Structure 1
């Protein structure tokens, strides 16, 4: 398999450094997060390699991240246990009951690109009190509030909350490194979290392929937030390179797969890639579990325009656009738009005013 190599233009940014741009056998770069806190030389080399990765890949394996194997194993075990519950116990927290798009969905209930995703899942986000909604409140405020938790598995709340906190720690650490790689102060992104980071997370089960199943585990898409950190079991994830070629991104022991989202692509005028990716349904007789965490900016904020250094600005490609799904700089409005598209049943029940307005 041909490996993705840094573009000549961006590779010049790390010329002269005695570092190796490491790629996994699967073709994605490997980033060692602990080098951010190493010697000055290690830190400088790390930032240079991250800069190349952000421009040319958008996806990479993250290792030496400091997340304990015990917590990872606990989260995986909890995921398996939840999906093994009887149907009625899972449906107790059905997403259709939540205007906040939190809770359980049966296989095929979420859409990507208008097509069914063949997976069952539970969505969580930042645990918080529901805000007071007035006549002039923006619609996205309705997505804020508490999660749904299953009474048949009370321990799920504790492990999910601890896992969210660890993923938030890693994400914010990585975001500080991204700021440095873009020629900014490391606290550049802090204002985007004025009311706290969004901590959207899913636990997913992809049942094995049968004659009645779609082969689309999740359809081709870009993630809409800042950073996604994925823990996956069996292979199934595919990533589309900038030349249109799809490559597999199978799990690597001890690592997470990280990808940058559309908010970073917008903020950098396309210098940072937000790559298209998809997941396939596993073979018949198997099942695939995965746990993505999506770090998002505060919903009451807007996406900044980063004034890149001149040498990086020349490599900015502009923001890719989808006329059927335009990106908005208002973070909360952008989040709500994506959720309404993905979950039309929730939209019909809890946002009939917005549905009618779109149809008018």
Structure 2
């Protein structure tokens, strides 16, 4: 199949059990899943007023003095929550030029034992800015609302694969892995490169991205080029994560994408949400119907970024690589262990 040169628009309402176009919608979802792996999602049900309010709060946060943003610097959190200045996150070892604040489910820090799985260190509370206390409740509401959308999308993918809609429910029901990023990309005059975010795949089930008004997201077209995905008001951009590629043995495609730095004098705001399985879960391989199983391609293997079916192991690996300052501050023992394993390999 040849990837389209622009992303299709799918309407979530068409996947409802009683919708007259449901079969056609599932066929369209299968098609986009086999090619570009990205689409615009309309009909998601989140009011535009809620969207506008969150983006306005995001702008207010990034307008705070740096000292107020650094009150919740991610380096202070062993759970990788909080604010990062531009250039402090890395993709494949290269700096990403975006400032951002990361939030997850609001949970208590665990009392860890020496033999506990290392990924349990990821569980804990968020950091919210004292200088903008009104950010807390909208962020937690957004996580809940967009999680509900993500589960509906996941159910549609399940049915498109010939499965029951709740086939993945056992591995997310006890608390899915949720990550919300509120991101600002400064213009090219304020960065050292055009890399807003380097080329990568996402690691969860699905990503649900809210864009403001400035573009920059580009999706690999599979032919050596890139498909631009400019903002479309009232929609999200949805893409497949590596967990779905693993579960479908490569039938679904977690595609490469990047963000290009905005032009000088401007900036770009985006709010991506990543929905994954419970950190304690392992990803099964689905038993696909024969007509789909015959089209399985196998999971893409990247020697620089090995995939594990253990969800927590995958997530921790990603966070340690992306945020070396947090890793050195709180998890130096894990880095030393990784170095020993690499040396003995």
TM-score, structure 1 as length reference: 0.92
Aligned to 1:19: none
Q: Is the contact between residue 36 and residue 219 of structure 2 (CA under 8 Å) also seen in structure 1?
A: no
State which drifts further: 30-39 or 116-125.
30-39
Note if 1:123 corresponds to 2:102. Answer: yes
Which residue of 169, 174, 194 maps to 2:153? 174
Which residue of 64, 69, 88 maps to 1:85? 64
Aligned to 1:326: 306
CA shift, 1:221, in A, is 0.1
Aligned to 1:242: 222
C-alpha distance in 2, partners of 1:220/1:49?
A: 26
CA shift, 1:313, in A, is 1.0
Q: Deviations over 1:195-247 (max 9, x none)?
A: 21122010000011027522100000000111000011211000002333211
Note if 1:155 corresponds to 2:140. Answer: no
- Which sections of structure 2, spanning at least 5 residues, go unmatched? 341-345
Aligned to 1:4: 3
Q: Is the contact between residue 4 and residue 28 of structure 1 (CA under 8 Å) also seen in structure 2?
A: no
Q: Is the contact between residue 205 and residue 290 of structure 1 (CA under 8 Å) also seen in structure 2?
A: yes
C-alpha distance in 1, partners of 2:34/2:111?
A: 41
C-alpha distance in 1, partners of 2:155/2:195?
A: 35
TM-score, structure 2 as length reference: 0.95
Note if 1:62 corresponds to 2:41. Answer: yes
Report the secondary structure of 2:20's partner residue.
helix
CA shift, 1:330, in A, is 0.4
Q: How many residues align?
A: 338
Q: Deviations over 1:288-318 (max 9, x none)?
A: 0000000010000001101111111111111
C-alpha distance in 1, partners of 2:56/2:21?
A: 36
C-alpha distance in 2, partners of 1:212/1:347?
A: 24
Report the secondary structure of 1:92's partner residue.
helix
Root-mean-square deviation (CA, aligned residues, Å) is: 1.3
Aligned to 2:343: none
Which residue of 257, 261, 268 maps to 1:277? 257
Aligned to 1:311: 291
Q: Deviations over 1:96-143 (max 9, x none)?
A: 010000000001000001000001000111111112211111010001
Aligned to 1:13: none
Note if 1:45 corresponds to 2:24. Answer: yes
Aligned to 1:11: none
Report the secondary structure of 1:210's partner residue.
helix
CA shift, 1:39, in A, is 3.6
C-alpha distance in 1, partners of 2:225/2:209?
A: 21
- Which sections of structure 1, spanning at least 5 residues, go unmatched? 6-25
Note if 1:297 corresponds to 2:285. Answer: no
Report the secondary structure of 1:123's partner residue.
strand
Alignment of 1:142-291 (within 5 A): 142-210=121-189, 213-233=192-212, 234-291=214-271
CA shift, 1:357, in A, is 1.2
Which residue of 134, 137, 140 maps to 2:113? 134
Note if 1:94 corresponds to 2:73. Answer: yes
